[in-house]
C-alpha cells in the first residue's frame, strides 16, 4: 500500500515515535475506569485536541471499545480547513500514523456515496487533525480495522440527516463502530464552559440530534463537531441504538491550570 495520506500532526499533536505513542496512549487507557454498558456498543463521542490536552478524556470513550470485534470504523469530524464541498473524504488508500497504516474501506465509502444524496468530495493531503487524532487510540484497542473517514463542512440539519441515512446504510451488515470527533466550548472561562458543555452533553445523553444542532444557535452550548455528533446519533438510532451516556468531561484548564480561557472536552458512549 503506497498511496498513504501523510500525517501532518505526528510529532506535534501526539508523539511521532511509535514506542512513545503506544506508551502514552496505553497510559491514558489504563488510567480510564472500565465503562459498564448494558448493551452492544454502537458508537462513541471523543474529543480531538492534542493528546496532551484531551487524550485522558478520549480514553474514557475508547476504553469501552477495547476488545470489540470491529472491522469498519466510521469517523466523522468537522472540517477545520478545507472548503472543497459540504462533505469531504480522503482520496488516499490509507491513513499513515506512527503505529501503522489504516486502510480506507473503499467498498463502504462507495456504499455511503450511493446512499447519501449530498456529494462527498475526495481530497488529497488534507491537514485535518480532528479525524487522525482518534486513530492511535483505535489502533491500540482494536486488532485491525478499515476506515470510513468523513469531514463535515456543512453542518446544517438537511446535510447531517442525509449523511446519517447514508452512513447507516453503508455500515449495515458490517461489524462497525461509529465515532463522532468533537471538542466542546472554546475559549470561555472555566465557569462558563462548565455551563455550556453541560448543556451540550445533556443533549447527547437525551439522544437528541436536533438538540445538539440547535444548542449553538440558541447560545446554550457549543461543539465544533456538532454535525458529527448529530450524524452519529442519527445513524446509531437507525442501527438500533437506544441510549447514550457521557462518561467524562474536562477542559484544557484541568491540564494547563489556566482557567481564564479553556476548551471543553467530552466523551460519551452509545449503545443498544
The CATH number covering residue 95 comes to: 3.40.830.10
Q: What is the mean pLDDT of residues 111-127?
A: 97
Is the predicted pLDDT of residue 130 greater than 80, yes or no? Answer: yes
The 3-state DSSP class for residue 137 equals helix
Contact 184, 212 (CB under 8 A): no
pLDDT of residue 82: 81
Q: What is the mean pLDDT of residues 8-31?
A: 98
Is the predicted pLDDT of residue 1 greater than 70, yes or no? Answer: no
Q: Closest Cα partner for 262 from 197, 181, 182?
A: 197
Q: What is the mean pLDDT of residues 153-175?
A: 97
Is the predicted pLDDT of residue 248 greater than 70, yes or no? Answer: yes
Domain that holds residue 201: 4-271
Task: Give the total number of structural domains in the chain.
Answer: 1
Is the predicted pLDDT of residue 111 greater than 80, yes or no? Answer: yes
pLDDT digits (tens, 9 = 90+) for 24-43: 999 999 999 998 999 999 99
pLDDT digits (tens, 9 = 90+) for 48-70: 999 999 999 999 999 999 989 99
Strands 146-152 and 72-78: parallel
Cα–Cα dist 173/160, whole Å: 22
Q: Across the beta sheet with 100-103, what order do the strands follow?
A: 4-5, 94-97, 100-103
pLDDT of residue 64: 97
Q: How confident is the model at residue 45 (pLDDT cuts 50, 70, 90)?
A: very high
The mean of the pLDDT values for the chain is 97
Global pTM value: 0.97
Is the predicted pLDDT of residue 232 greater than 90, yes or no? Answer: yes
Q: How confident is the model at residue 2 (pLDDT cuts 50, 70, 90)?
A: confident
Give CA 35 to chain center in angstroms.
18
pLDDT of residue 83: 79
pLDDT digits (tens, 9 = 90+) for 180-206: 999 999 999 999 999 999 999 999 999
Residue 153: CB atoms within 10 Å: 18
- Identify the H or E element spanning 221: none
Amino acid at each position: 500500500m503506497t498511496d498513504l495520506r501523510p500525517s501532518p500532526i505526528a510529532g506535534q499533536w501526539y508523539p511521532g515515535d511509535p514506542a512513545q505513542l503506544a506508551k502514552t496512549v496505553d497510559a491514558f487507557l489504563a488510567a480510564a475506569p472500565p465503562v459498564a454498558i448494558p448493551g452492544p456498543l454502537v458508537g462513541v463521542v471523543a474529543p480531538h485536541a492534542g493528546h496532551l490536552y484531551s487524550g485522558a478524556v478520549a480514553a474514557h470513550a475508547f476504553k469501552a471499545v477495547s476488545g470489540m470485534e470491529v472491522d469498519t470504523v466510521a469517523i466523522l469530524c468537522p472540517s477545520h480547513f478545507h472548503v472543497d464541498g459540504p462533505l469531504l473524504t480522503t482520496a488516499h488508500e490509507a491513513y499513515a500514523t506512527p503505529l501503522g497504516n489504516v486502510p480506507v474501506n473503499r467498498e463502504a465509502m462507495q456504499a455511503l456515496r450511493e446512499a447519501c444524496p449530498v456529494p462527498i468530495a475526495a481530497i488529497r493531503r488534507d491537514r485535518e487533525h480532528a479525524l487522525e487524532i482518534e486513530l492511535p487510540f483505535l489502533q491500540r484497542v482494536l486488532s485491525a480495522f478499515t476506515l470510513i473517514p468523513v469531514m463535515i463542512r456543512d453542518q446544517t440539519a438537511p446535510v447531517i440527516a442525509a449523511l446519517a441515512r447514508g452512513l447507516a446504510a453503508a455500515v449495515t451488515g458490517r461489524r462497525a463502530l461509529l465515532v463522532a470527533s468533537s471538542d466542546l466550548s472554546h475559549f470561555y472561562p472555566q465557569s462558563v464552559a462548565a455551563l455550556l458543555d453541560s448543556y451540550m452533553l445533556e443533549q447527547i445523553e437525551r439522544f437528541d440530534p436536533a438538540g445538539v444542532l440547535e444548542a449553538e444557535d440558541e447560545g446554550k452550548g457549543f461543539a465544533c463537531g456538532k454535525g458529527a455528533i448529530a450524524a452519529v446519533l442519527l445513524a446509531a438510532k437507525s442501527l438500533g441504538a437506544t441510549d447514550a451516556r457521557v462518561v467524562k468531561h474536562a477542559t484544557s484548564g484541568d491540564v494547563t491550570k489556566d482557567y481564564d480561557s479553556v476548551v471543553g472536552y467530552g466523551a460519551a458512549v452509545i449503545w443498544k
